[in-house]
């Protein structure tokens, strides 16, 4: 082990809320409510003795569609964290949660302390947005901010996924098969209580809402294309619109050595850009760069967690990476669990922690996620302790 790896920050705890379908189980919770529930849990975590309060340097949260302002600061105060602890909210669209974890790890390189980092999204309570009137143009409501300048291409994610699937020759049947497998894996994990240790109940809700039992390729095959009548992307092989939060506790290497216990050492990270017309491919260069910086190959990775925004997009990324699709999200991914945009990257980190630190799934893990505007974020971790 090199000195740089030995001194890398370590994830020592990881929690998330249940993931709810927008407008349903968590609909009454704001983004701050969801994040505060997880921050409160981690701040008092018995796993770190008296919790990380005494050494807490920062709270960093990713968020895309929240109320504006600094959601991380509001959630930290709502969680009862000391007022001296600052909060920072970051926006890298769907990659915001993992970007926050990467930023938290960067803050601890060469420094001593604890950072709580993750992401949150409440699609249910996201405010309506509108452009103000301009001259003869009336006020106009809009669903999202631009991902990229229109001249470069600024597609919605669904049509972009159709384009990627078509260009990479991913068939409808392949997408439906992948989606059915994600749901089957998530249901099997849920029945075995494989998510229980990572979930912080909120408002009486203690399990993920979206996974479906018995969702077969045949049932998925009855759904119509969602974005293009000639396309292959449907509601069944796409992620949902969801609410949720996920946060990890990061400590410096010396603190981890002193405290002991299992954890995930953050040995490499990467952020990359791709064609904004094909944003879902951002996973590919980010994962490649992170693995190269870690000095390992995909063959060395024991658990691969890629954000399953669309089955066709993930299958295209797998083809580009030379990765067998069966290796992705072994306990089910976002197609089944849901995709709470600003939180999803942090959910990947929580999932790695459950499998590699709480469980015995192996040594190395890879998390990677794409984002609107053509970006990708990836992180390579190593089980330690």
- Binned at pLDDT 50, 70 and 90, residue 49 comes out as very low
Contact 56, 85 (CB under 8 A): yes
Alpha helix stretches (DSSP H) within the chain:
3-6, 31-43, 71-78, 96-107, 157-167, 172-191, 217-220, 253-259, 283-294, 311-321, 334-337, 341-352
Domains, in order of start, for the chain? 3-126+238-384 (3.40.47.10)
- Binned at pLDDT 50, 70 and 90, residue 4 comes out as confident
Annotated catalytic residue, options 64, 94, 239, 318: 94
| pLDDT tens digits for range 53-110 | 668 999 999 999 999 899 999 999 999 999 999 999 999 999 999 999 999 999 999 9
Distance CA(256)–CA(269), nearest Å, equals 20
Annotated catalytic residue, options 183, 239, 256, 339: 339
- Binned at pLDDT 50, 70 and 90, residue 138 comes out as very high
pLDDT of 3 above 70: no
- Binned at pLDDT 50, 70 and 90, residue 299 comes out as very high
| pLDDT tens digits for range 312-349 | 999 999 999 999 999 999 999 999 999 999 999 999 99
**Residue 384 catalytic?**
no
- Binned at pLDDT 50, 70 and 90, residue 51 comes out as low
Distance CA(3)–CA(46), nearest Å, equals 30
- Binned at pLDDT 50, 70 and 90, residue 47 comes out as very low
| Whole-number pLDDT of residue 44 | 86
DSSP string, 120-132: EEEGGGPPPEEEP
β-pairing, 56-62 with 114-122?
parallel
Contact 379, 290 (CB under 8 A): yes
- 167 CB contacts (<8 Å, ≥6 apart)? 278, 316
| Whole-number pLDDT of residue 21 | 98
**Residue 339 catalytic?**
yes
């Amino acid at each position: 082990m090199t000195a740089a790896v030995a001194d890398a920050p370590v994830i020592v705890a990881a929690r998330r809320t249940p993931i709810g379908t927008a407008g349903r189980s968590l609909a009454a919770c704001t983004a701050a409510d969801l994040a505060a529930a997880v921050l409160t849990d981690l701040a008092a975590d018995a796993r770190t003795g008296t919790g990380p309060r005494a050494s807490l340097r920062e709270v960093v949260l990713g968020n895309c569609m929240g109320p504006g302002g600094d959601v991380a600061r509001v959630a930290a105060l709502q969680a009862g964290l000391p007022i001296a602890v600052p909060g920072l909210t970051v926006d890298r669209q769907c990659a915001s949660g993992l970007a926050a974890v990467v930023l938290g790890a960067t803050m601890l390189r060469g420094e001593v302390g604890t950072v709580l980092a993750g992401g949150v999204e409440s699609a249910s309570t996201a405010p309506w947005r509108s452009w103000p009137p301009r001259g003869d143009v009336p006020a106009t409501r809009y669903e999202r901010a631009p991902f990229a300048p229109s001249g470069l291409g600024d597609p919605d994610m669904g049509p972009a996924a159709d384009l990627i699937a078509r260009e990479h020759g991913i068939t409808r049947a392949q997408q439906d098969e992948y989606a059915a497998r994600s749901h089957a894996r998530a249901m099997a994990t849920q029945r075995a209580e494989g998510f229980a240790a990572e979930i912080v109940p909120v408002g009486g809700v203690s399990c993920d809402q979206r996974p479906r039992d018995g969702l077969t390729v045949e049932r998925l095959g009855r759904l119509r294309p969602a974005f293009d009548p000639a396309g292959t992307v449907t509601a069944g092989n796409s992620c949902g619109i969801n609410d949720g939060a996920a946060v990890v506790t990061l400590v410096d290497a010396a603190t981890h050595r002193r405290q002991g216990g299992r954890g995930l050492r953050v040995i490499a990270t990467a952020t990359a850009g791709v064609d904004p017309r094909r944003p879902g491919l951002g996973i590919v260069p980010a994962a490649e760069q992170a693995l190269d910086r870690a000095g390992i190959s995909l063959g060395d990775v024991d658990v691969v967690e890629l954000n399953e925004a669309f089955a066709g997009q993930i299958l295209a990324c797998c083809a580009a990476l030379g990765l067998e699709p069966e290796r992705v999200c072994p306990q089910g991914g976002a197609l089944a669990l849901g995709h709470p945009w600003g939180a999803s990257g942090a959910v990947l980190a929580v999932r790695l922690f459950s499998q590699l630190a709480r469980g015995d799934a192996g040594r190395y893990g890879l998390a990677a996620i794409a984002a609107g505007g053509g970006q990708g974020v990836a992180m390579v971790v190593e089980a330690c302790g």
